[in-house]
Amino acid sequence: MKLLFGKWILLLLPVLWIGSSAHSVKDVHPFYVSVTEINHNAAEKSLEVVCKVFVDDMEDVLKKSFNTPVDLSQASQQARAQNLLNQYVQRHLQVQANGKPVTLQFIGFEKDSESVYCYLEGANIASVQKLDITNGLLHDLTPDQINIMHVTVGGKRQSTKLDFPAKQAHFKF
């Protein structure tokens, strides 16, 4: 009887561990990744930037960075959330086009079920031959962070992956 009970406990142990209050499913995060898309819009002479990050990761890093909880889904917190997202992204994402720093204007953000999208724009960029990017998004949250970047200029798309602690990417067109 003890042997049979022991087998049942061993089978239920993973379920009990995952379901316990000490270890939530959120603690067993399978991967940490962000995707940043940069598109040169020649007609508008601008760089259009979209950063996609898991909502829970972004909320966690904002809480850690600004020492205050943030709920990106609360309409009542939208202005505050936009301000914190802007500050965070400006600190952790810098772009140089043709050797000159690009000022990225934070346009806004939107949240879907699992992700938050941050929209930025760099103005007065007529052409791009070279982009140098520093992307340290979520590096201050986990050493498991991976940042993927896709850059499109003149219809040509280039991509790279930055594994922590790498932050620098260079693209030539």
pLDDT digits (tens, 9 = 90+) for 87-143: 999 999 999 999 999 999 999 999 998 999 999 999 999 999 999 999 999 999 999
Collect all residues with Cβ–Cβ distance below 8 Å to 161 and sequence separation of at least 6.
146, 147, 148, 149
Q: Mark whether 121 and 95 lie in a shared domain.
A: yes
Looking at the fold, whether 154 and 118 belong to one and the same domain comes out as: yes
Contact 134, 101 (CB under 8 A): no
Indicate the number of domains in the chain.
2
Write out pLDDT tens, residues 25-60.
Answer: 345 457 899 999 999 999 999 999 999 999 999 999
Same domain assignment for residues 133 and 86: yes
Phi, psi of 34 (to 5 degrees): -125, 155
Q: How far is CA 94 from each of CA 53, 135, 145, 170, rounded to the nearest angstrom?
A: 17, 7, 18, 12
- Single out the residue of 90, 102, 93, 86 nearest to residue 40, CA to CA: 102
Same domain for 16 and 40, yes or no, is: no
- DSSP calls for 19-42: HSTTS-GGGS---EEEEEEEEEET
Beta-sheet pairing, 130-135 with 46-54: unpaired
Residue 23: phi, psi to the nearest 5?
-135, 105
> How many Cβ atoms from other residues are within 10 Å of residue 76's Cβ?
8
Looking at the structure, tell me whether residues 67 and 132 fall in a common domain.
Answer: yes
Residue-level pLDDT at 169: 98
Domain of 18, in residue numbers? 1-29
pTM above threshold 0.75 = yes
